[in-house]
Amino acid sequence: MTPHPHPHPHPHAAPPLPTLTGRRSPWVTFTPSADPWVAAAGAELRAAGGIVLRLDGEELHEAGCLHRAFARELGFPGYYGHNWDAMVDCLGDWHGPGHGKQDVAVLIDGADALLDAEFLGVFVWALAAGAWRANFMVDADGDPNDGTPFALHFVLLLDRTPPEAFAGAVAAADPDLAVAVVDGRLVVTLTDTEWPGGDPVWPPVG
């Protein structure tokens, strides 16, 4: 599912601030649970007719549990394959609440539990790839689908872990993932500028 070719880096590009209503990256944000941006952005999304869904990070510590929780809470179809490629497909072709007709933010409470998960990197890649496909309504090759694009973003809320602690595992998962720390948040995007809406490569954390 990783697109090719990879782009040339733009080392001086600055990442955009997170959004829950705009159809742009960053697609995944790690931030403290007390971050006032989360409440404000969630309220803005709801006011615009969007949906905020929540998952419990403690339920996601094993890959099997994670897939079951996502299937249940995000309304994946019964044929969901419980693997990362299937997650990307189901996120990009939304069957859950709103059925792709409303913007969606998925908040994961207590995401500290994921720090030591061996699947952390590929999980974040799946979230980012699925969000990219939903926001631009394209298939795995970047070709347009028949659906209506909608904003889809993921926020991992941390109670005791600094967001930057997740940077190494996420950045190492796939060469098309890039991370940066902005205003105390770890933000994640896809870097292939050959994709519609692709972002330039950001400077690596640290």
For the entire predicted model, the pTM comes to: 0.87
Q: Structure tokens of 71?
A: 């299937």
Q: Cis peptide before 203, with omega less than 30 degrees from 0?
A: no
* pLDDT tens, the chain, 206 aa long: 444 333 333 444 555 579 999 998 899 999 999 999 999 999 999 999 999 999 999 999 999 999 999 999 999 999 999 999 999 999 998 888 888 889 999 999 999 999 999 999 999 999 999 998 898 887 666 677 777 889 999 999 999 999 999 999 999 988 888 898 999 999 998 876 565 555 544 444 44
What secondary structure letter does DSSP report for 117? -
Q: How far is CA 134 from CA 17, 92, 176, in A?
A: 19, 4, 17
Q: Structure tokens of 192?
A: 């292939």
